[in-house]
Amino acid sequence: MTVIHKMYIDGRWTNGASTKIRSILNPATEEVMGMVGDGVIEDAEAAIKAARRAFDSGEWPETPVEKRRDYLRKLADLLEASADEFARLETLNTGKPLRESELDVADAVAAFRYFADLACKKITVETISREDGTTSVITREPVGVCAQIVPWNFPLLMAAWKLAPALAAGNTCVFKPSELTPLTAIKLFSLIDQVGFPPGVVNLLLGDGNHVGSVLAESPLVDKIAFTGGTKTGRSVMRAAAGNMKNISLELGGKSPLVIFEDVDVETAVDTALYAMYFNQGQVCVAGSRAIVHAPLYDEFTRRFAERAQQITIGNGLVAETEMGPLISKQQLERTEQYVAIGLKEGARLLCGGKRAPGHEEGYYFLPTAFTDVTLDMRIAQEEIFGPILVIQKFEDEAEAIRLANGTAFGLAAGVLSEDRERAERVARRLRAGMIWINSYHTPYVDAPWGGYKQSGIGRELGIHGLEAYLEIKHTNIKDKPESIGWFAAR
């Protein structure tokens, strides 16, 4: 019999208020691999209430930060001890190659440890002694009840990036994974249960965005909403959050450029561009989905890129040789196909791929695809596709490279490849993006900020900035004892 996974609310597993069940698919086989309870409005409200009570009672926010650290370290240890199981489950539910899931689990463990320790070091008290005889005390306090909504491309890692800083800072959480990929989050909550966080401190809500996600964004009992997902959904979350002026963190879409100068060896340039674009089948917010290539290198680059893209081994993520897995869903597959049609209609030239991967009867497999002859005004150059489609553009000089790179509504990430460090840094300074890799790509560092400019979002995750996003700052001005101020004469 298939096990039906439940929600975790107020320290207990629950079926939720309805009998609705959702089937979870393996995108590599299209088979049902799990059944989960599907949340409804009442479940969202119950989770919010539990988090509100746990926060307002003071149990978690007033727990000493060192003790909160111990809970999170224990969680990290348990996660590390079952890393193989988590990686396998992540691959089954998302389709991503196992080597990528293994990285995700290791990064998730690192995030819990990092924020557990950082909170102890950085949640400090500053004092200023004043000539007027008062003292100013500046403290950092948790924001309150945090609703956290994540997408399907990095389910476990996004859970860690959201929960670790929030809990370390003393907040209480309602966490909602994507309705497509809840399985590693459910498994993480079985560890959370084992660690024994006080009831209501950390709650798992299942269900889709329109039903339960929107309740989190709107609720006046929620103090902060942290969202990772598409820009369109981000906009509606922001609108809903305005009702009670929630604190917001948004990590949204991108159309990130990889600027490649002619002094780079063509094999290295192609290798980096393949990695920047096709990692996780291109379903990465920072995917290097626009290669902007210096004219002298352009012909050789495109020729070699097409050859190498066609050599990528596509298959089930559990098979050791697999380099690229399936897309997450039928919907994403169709969306990717539609963008190929859009590109062709706009007059771009298909360099490689452009269709479902042959030889796969089941599963949402799509060939690594690239377009040349792309102009900046085309939709394929402007819109986030979130599938394995690269657009390649040519530039003549540095000014044109910068103009093209900055020429979209997004500003999440960018890469610059050049042997000339000075030139690469000069260009990087002009790029309007939150994360820039020079001669590298993709790696997130847990102690360095992650987030975007422009329509790629608001705020930063990771690093000290990621912790501060979950803290309020309070100034308390203290005078030893009450005394008349005498501003208005007593008559």
Query: What residues act catalytically?
Result: 251, 285
Report, in Å, the least distance between residue 254 CB and ligand TXE: 6
Which helix H or strand E contains 159, and what residues bound it?
helix 155-168
Stated as kind and residue range, the H or E segment containing 391 is: strand 389-395
Are the CB atoms for 173 and 51 separated by under 8 Å? yes
| Nearest C-alpha neighbor of 164 from the set 202, 112, 229, 214 | 112
Question: 101 or 178: whose CB is closer to ligand TXE?
Answer: 178
Instruction: Find residue 410's DSSP bridge partners.
Output: 454
Binding flags for ligand TXE, 75-94, as an x/- string (CB under 6 A): --------------------
Q: Which of 221, 298, 307, 288 is nearest to 264 (CA)?
A: 298
Q: Considering only 72-80, 213-221, 300-308, 339-347, which stretch makes contact with ligand TXE by CB under 6 A?
A: 213-221
R_g of the chain, CA atoms, integer Å: 24
Q: What angle do CA 50, 51, 57 make, to 5 degrees?
A: 90
Question: Between 246 and 265, how does the x/- string for binding to ligand TXE read (CB under 6 A)?
Answer: ------xx------------
State how beta strands 435-438 and 410-411 pair.
unpaired
Among 209, 353, 411, 463, binds ligand TXE (CB under 6 A): 209
User: Which of 210, 244, 338, 440 lies at the binding interface for ligand TXE (CB under 6 A)?
Assistant: 210
Restricted to residues 176-205, the positions that interact with ligand TXE (CB under 6 A) are 176, 178-179
- 120-128, 173-181, 369-377, 475-483 -> range binding ligand TXE (CB under 6 A): 173-181
Sheet holding 31-37, edge to edge: 4-5, 31-37, 21-26
Say whether residue 9 binds ligand TXE (CB under 6 A).
no
165 binds ligand TXE (CB under 6 A): no
The C-alpha atoms of residue 176 and residue 178 are separated, in whole angstroms, by 7
Residue 107 binds to ligand TXE (criterion: CB under 6 A): no
Number of residues that make up the chain = 491
Helices 83-94 and 183-195: crossing angle in degrees, nearest 10, is: 150
The label of the residue with tokens 């890692």 reads 157
| Min separation Cβ 38 and ligand TXE, Å | 11
Beta carbon of residue 233, minimum distance to ligand TXE (angstroms, whole number): 4
Identified binder of ligand TXE from the candidate list 184, 233, 272, 455, rule CB under 6 A: 233
Please name every residue paired with 23 in a beta bridge, in sequence order, or none if there are none.
35
Percentage helix, strand, coil for the chain under 3-state DSSP, each rounded to 5 = 40, 20, 35
Residue of the chain from 11, 199, 230, 449 that contacts ligand TXE (CB under 6 A): 230
Q: Which is nearer to ligand TXE, 209 or 444 (CB)?
A: 209
Which residues inside 350-409 make contact with ligand TXE, applying CB under 6 A?
384, 386
Quick check: 237 binds ligand TXE (CB under 6 A)? yes
What are 138's strand-pairing partners? 126, 475
For the record, the structure tokens of 409 come out as: 């509504």
Shortest distance (Å) from residue 451 CB to ligand TXE: 11
Burial 276-288 (b: 16+ CB within 10 A, else e): bbbbbbbbbbbbb
Among 10, 77, 193, 208, binds ligand TXE (CB under 6 A): 208
Task: Return d(Cα 403, Cα 355) in angstroms, integer.
Answer: 31
State the nearest-atom distance from the C-beta of 333 to ligand TXE, in Å: 11
Nearest-approach distance from CB 228 to ligand TXE, in angstroms: 5
Residue nearest to ligand TXE (CB): 209
> Interface with ligand TXE includes 337 (CB under 6 A)?
no
Q: Is 149 in the site for ligand TXE (CB under 6 A)?
A: yes
Contact 360, 264 (CB under 8 A): no
Task: Determine if 229 is a binding residue for ligand TXE (CB under 6 A).
Answer: yes
Residues in touch with ligand TXE (CB under 6 A) = 149-153, 176, 178-179, 208-210, 213-214, 217, 228-230, 233, 236-237, 252-253, 285, 335, 384, 386
